[in-house]
Amino acid sequence: MQREEKQLEATLQTILNRVNDLKAAIQALITKLETERETINWPTFLDNYALLSGHLTGLSKCLQTEQAPSLRSMVVLPLQLGCERDEALVRLTEGRVPACTHDLVPDLLRTKPEPQAEQRLQQFNHKASTLSYDTAQKQVTQFSKVVSHVWEIISKGREDWEGESMRSAGIQQTFSNADTHALVTAVGTGKGLRAGMPGVGAPVGGVGAGLGARAPPPLAAPAQLPKAPSTIKTNIKAASQIHPYQR
């Protein structure tokens, strides 16, 4: 008996520690939601929620361990009821329960839901059991569409938020992938360049053109414009006749 009592005390102490850790995590999450609801982001909330999930998993493992005695065979009952304030109970419950009254004990020792909640649960179960397969499939399809639409809205909002974060941090995009691919394609294969364009570094006229050197051929005019008559040849002949260095 003493061994079982010691084992029960150790198990209860372990469960109490787990419950206190879970309570502290819940209080921290509530405080964060109340004080940082304008600045809290989704990853931070998920981290806090994962912490709660870890505490619940640890509590379930503690209850399911083989070394812990079966708590289903234990009965919890108040030893004394009264309306007077109990300071020990106040300290134990951190000020939530000042006295063990007749109205409070049924709620604390309840192992089933409240009658109103249990009645509503039965109504929902009856409605779900009488629903036809086609109607259920239509409702599932409609719900899936709603979830997909909400997911698209959230994804678009996340992209906008990330873009605003980058702009606010001073990280601006200084390149364009489309322009880079177009430039590489134009340099490598000539795609997008006009045919018949003159070279950038081609000379337009010779240095000694005024000294009797042959003038370069005139540039070809665009096809859509009429070709103007050229007088360069006549001017060259006239200049060669009066050239002072002609022998």
pLDDT tens for 46-84 read 888 899 999 999 888 887 776 666 677 777 777 778 888
Average pLDDT over residues 84-106: 85
1-71 domain in CATH 3.90.70.10? Answer: no
pLDDT at 146 over 90: yes
Contact 20/58 with Cβ under 8 angstroms? no
The per-residue pLDDT for 149 is 93
State the number of CA atoms in the 13 A half-sphere of 90 facing the CB.
7
pTM: 0.41
The per-residue pLDDT for 208 is 42
The per-residue pLDDT for 144 is 92
CATH 1.20.58.1710 segments of the chain: 1-71
Cα separation, 195 vs 199, in Å, equals 11
Cα separation, 75 vs 157, in Å, equals 53
The per-residue pLDDT for 169 is 62
pLDDT at 247 over 70: no
Contact 103/82 with Cβ under 8 angstroms? no
Cα separation, 66 vs 33, in Å, equals 38
The per-residue pLDDT for 1 is 64
Mean pLDDT of the chain: 76
pLDDT at 233 over 70: no
More confident residue, 193 or 148: 148
